Chain A
């Protein structure tokens, strides 16, 4: 089972700033089967990116993903007020088990 470690635990930033979130995997994630989700209080998670860098339908282009193998990054180019939330990475693919990271909270500074 792949273990995902997200850093930092909390990111304190101001609107308009750039956010960089990391997700490290305990072993190589083949075919970049890595997704990022956004979760706001009281809501279900929302898929942002899959395939490490492919934006899901309706996701603004200020969200971007990069990385491969064991190191992945989610970047939010310029934080909007609605972007303050918790972000999770997830390993998925055709052969479970699948795992989530422990989350990074992006909070207003």
Chain B
């Protein structure tokens, strides 16, 4: 059974760097055809795709946030880490990580999400 769990600070100050961790169980992040992405959802608003990392370490980012995001994976811990620089109150949202596999690459399994508030 594959599960994902997000973790990170609940409160971040504007201009700081946010670091989020997704811990994956039940599948190795090195397994061919496996990938993990990050998606966020501001309160009462729609989902927004942020970033994705493939099993071979290839990475893709949302064009609108690419200059602020970095996605990496730690295969020893089976975790995916997302960093977002220069956060703003507009970045307040629930952040989800989700699993996808080839050939479809759609998000078939999601973590429960973690609410991040950006406020001074």
A and B interact physically: yes
Residues of A within 8 A of B (CB): 1, 33, 35, 37, 39, 43-47, 50-51, 56, 88, 90, 92-94, 96-103
Q: Which residues of A lie under 8 Å from residue B106 when comparing CB positions?
A: 33, 35, 47, 50, 90, 92
Give the number of chain B interface residues (Cβ < 8 Å): 25
Is B112 among interface residues, defined by CB-CB distance under 8 A? yes
Q: Which residues of B lie under 8 Å from residue A98 when comparing CB positions?
A: 37, 49, 52
Contact of B47 among A33, A50, A100 (CB under 8 A): A100
Most buried by A among B39, B52, B63, B106: B106
Give chain B's interface secondary structure class. loop
Contact present for B107 and A47 (CB under 8 Å): yes
User: Given the complex of chains A and B, what is the CA–CA distance between A43 and B96 in angstroms?
Assistant: 11
Least CB distance, A38 to chain B, in whole angstroms: 12
Contact of A101 among B46, B61, B62, B96 (CB under 8 A): B46
A-B contact list, 21 entries, CB within 8 Å: A33-B105, A33-B106, A37-B47, A43-B112, A44-B111, A45-B107, A47-B109, A50-B104, A56-B108, A88-B46, A90-B106, A92-B104, A92-B105, A92-B107, A93-B104, A93-B105, A94-B103, A97-B61, A98-B52, A100-B46, A103-B46
Least CB distance, B28 to chain A, in whole angstroms: 20
Q: A44-B112, A88-B46, A92-B100 are in contact. Are A97 and B107 (CB under 8 A)?
A: no
